[in-house]
Structure 1
Amino acid sequence: MVKNNLENSDIEEIDKSLFEFAKYDSKKAELIGYSNYSYWKSTLNVFTKNKVAVFLLVVVVFLLLFTVVQPYLPNQHSPIKINIDEKTGLQLRNLPPSAEYWFGTNSIGQDLWSRIWSGTRTSLFIGLTVGFIELIIGIFIGSIWGYVRKFDPIITEIYNVITNVPTTIILILIAYIMKPGIITIIVAMSVTRWTNMARFVRNLVIIIRDREYNLASRCLGTPLSRIATKNLLPYLVSVIMLRLALAIPLAIGSEVFLTYIGIGLPVDVPSLGNLINEGRVFMMVPSLRYQLLFPTAVLSIITISFYVMGNAFGDASDPKNHL
């Protein structure tokens, strides 16, 4: 009884002016929590903290721009023109680097400076095209392969047929069937390269397709295209970008390999593959070794740059690394 009296006295001592009834406001009820978080902005912030990757990105952008503007610079030679000595009428063959020919000339008198940048332009075009074709086809087929169960046996059989045939044989057959050229190289590499990306995406989709939010989306009748773009692909951005960054130098390396075995681009089309194949003949001649070193150096810079940038962007696009 005493306890109840104390409690009542404490209640009476509380200043009632400190409290007021909450009123319902329909406008405030519609407000939601706000966050200034942006996925792509956070990805960019994390990526720019990697100074090596940013530097290599600048290098790659510079190479891309320079290969475009190089033919229009003053005092540039044609990459396919055979330079002749005006006094003797002979070809300026195997000249060492000089003020006139910065990278020297090759065995028939062509300017290596112009040929290397023309070849870099060709090889980058092939690598970027093949990489994006692999990305588009691989993501599309991989998403369907992993999400739609009834397509799994059909696509699996197609995958097994393509992957069980040696890639080199497929490349050789396409190269012989079609007329040699840039389009032939792109088609030959694109026919087989999408399989690795598709299998990779398929395995990732299988891991996340039966999570609660995907089950809820299916129960609500959400279209497959929206589920794929909103629920699945955001979780795959980091690994997909990494695969794309590695696919570009791999495609350039394949072009070099095809040229090495004799089914690449025609010899009159400058490319890093053609230049390296021509320069390897002089690998054991110290005075002419520059014909191999210059195109190999450019190829190495491109390959290393894309590899480092791919790993850096893959880490940056992982939401776990966002602050």
Structure 2
Amino acid sequence: MLSFLKREKSKQLEDQLNAAQAQRRTGWENLPEDELFTPAGFSEEQAEATASSNYSYWGSTFRAFFKNKFAVALLIALVVVVAFAFIQPHLPGQADPNLCAVDPVTGIQYRNIAPGQDGFIWGSNSIGQDLWARIWAGARTSLTIAFFVALIEAVVGITAGVLWGYVRGLDFVFTELYNIFDNIPTAIVLILISYVATPSIWTMVLGMAIKGWIEMARFIRNQILIIRDRDYNVASRCIGTPTIRIVLRNLLPYLVSVIMLRMALTIPEAIGNEVFITYIGLGLSVETPSLGNLVNDGRKVMMQAGLRYQLLYPTLILSFVTIAFYLIGNAFSDAADPKNHLQ
């Protein structure tokens, strides 16, 4: 009896569903054709559109970098220091870095004046020159040398490194050049340049860049060899993509992180070389202040307690700039690495 009632109930529900569907079909049949269907339309722009991700390499890189609060704070401080070094001589009340100040009353030079006395913010040296003005002038000189060395190494080194790694026929030529340059110590090159030519900013840049570009080229070459024959590069060559496009679109973007790290290390290395060559007495003349000159002068009086400020202040600026470039370069290199970009 119970099964009979269930079958009857199921049959009633099925009849009601069929009646509803029949009524719906009847309603559709009575409607005009233009109301039954709505044309979707055609747009040529939409037909050519393809699905794509909203991923941006540089956007992802900067987002990853700005998450590192320490690196961002260090970058801001470095920008302030570098900017101040270049605008300092244009500020009012700044002394000439080469001027030997003389006491108008006694006619004697302001020798070894302690910081904060007689208008000398960071004191004076043994001939009355303002250390505040000389340190910032020295920072400008050293930074100028470092920036130009890094620029030359980047342009020449990256170009040569790409050719060395991608064009197989040039491997022998560049390898022999590398063997020649690599066996000559950097100090010897700087010393020879200083003897042959008059020491100047551009002489220092030339001496440092002579060896630096081949090291950058070797570094880039090794990276190119790793990714040169990957599937997407082979596919690009097979479909006839120009070599320059493969290099610019497939190879160099992959190497941004290592290139940025290498350039960030080049700047403090160039400053260190300038300090070294000045330390051995072959650097810039005293009329051209540099951090190397100032550190060398401060070294001579470091054993006198009252004169150690002449070594302290240039060393602080030198240490901050070199360490900041190194840490910021590492942070940006990590941020630029595509492996660290999460979708």
Instruction: Give TM-score scaled by structure 1 length.
Output: 0.91
After superposition, where does 1:253-292 map in structure 2 within 5 Å? 253-292=272-311
Residue 90 of structure 1 is matched in structure 2 by 108
- 1:179 maps to 2:208: no
The answer for unaligned runs of 5 or more in structure 2 is 1-17, 26-36
Residue 206 of structure 1 is matched in structure 2 by 225
SS in 2 for 1:94: coil
- 1:120 maps to 2:139: yes
Residue 319 of structure 2 is matched in structure 1 by 300
In 2: Cα distance, 1:271 partner to 1:102 partner: 18
In 2: Cα distance, 1:173 partner to 1:221 partner: 48
Letter paired with 2:128: G
1:44 to 28, 39, 62: 62
In 2: Cα distance, 1:157 partner to 1:68 partner: 41
After superposition, where does 1:225-244 map in structure 2 within 5 Å? 225-244=244-263
Letter paired with 2:309: Y
Residue 83 of structure 2 is matched in structure 1 by 65
Where relative contact order (Cα < 8 A, 6+ residues apart) is larger, the structure is 1
Residue 8 of structure 2 is matched in structure 1 by none
In 1: Cα distance, 2:232 partner to 2:90 partner: 55
Letter paired with 1:145: W
Q: Give a deviation string over 1:182-220, Cα, whole Å, max 9, x none.
A: 010000000001122111110010011011111122222
Give 1:320 deviation, angstroms.
1.9
Moved over 3 A (4+): 22-29
Residue 6 of structure 2 is matched in structure 1 by none
Give 1:23 deviation, angstroms.
8.6
After superposition, where does 1:146-165 map in structure 2 within 5 Å? 146-165=165-184
29-38 or 150-159: bigger deviation: 29-38
Letter paired with 1:256: V
In 2: Cα distance, 1:154 partner to 1:211 partner: 25
Tell me the number of residue pairs that the alignment of Structure 1 and Structure 2 aligns: 310
285-294 or 128-137: bigger deviation: 128-137
Residue 92 of structure 2 is matched in structure 1 by 74
In 2: Cα distance, 1:30 partner to 1:76 partner: 63
SS in 2 for 1:299: helix
Identical residues among aligned pairs (%): 56
- 1:31 maps to 2:54: no
In 2: Cα distance, 1:70 partner to 1:207 partner: 46
Residue 216 of structure 1 is matched in structure 2 by 235
The answer for unaligned runs of 5 or more in structure 1 is 1-12
Give 1:31 deviation, angstroms.
1.9
In 1: Cα distance, 2:242 partner to 2:48 partner: 27
Instruction: Give TM-score scaled by structure 2 length.
Output: 0.86
Give 1:34 deviation, angstroms.
2.8
In 2: Cα distance, 1:212 partner to 1:186 partner: 41
Give 1:77 deviation, angstroms.
1.0
Give 1:37 deviation, angstroms.
1.3
In 2: Cα distance, 1:75 partner to 1:168 partner: 40
24-33 or 233-242: bigger deviation: 24-33
Give the structure with higher Rg (CA).
2
Letter paired with 2:233: N
Residue 10 of structure 1 is matched in structure 2 by none
Give 1:47 deviation, angstroms.
0.5
Q: Give a deviation string over 1:28-83, Cα, whole Å, max 9, x none.
A: 44220132211111111111111111111111111121112211222221100000
Letter paired with 1:303: T
218-227 or 88-97: bigger deviation: 218-227
In 1: Cα distance, 2:339 partner to 2:57 partner: 11
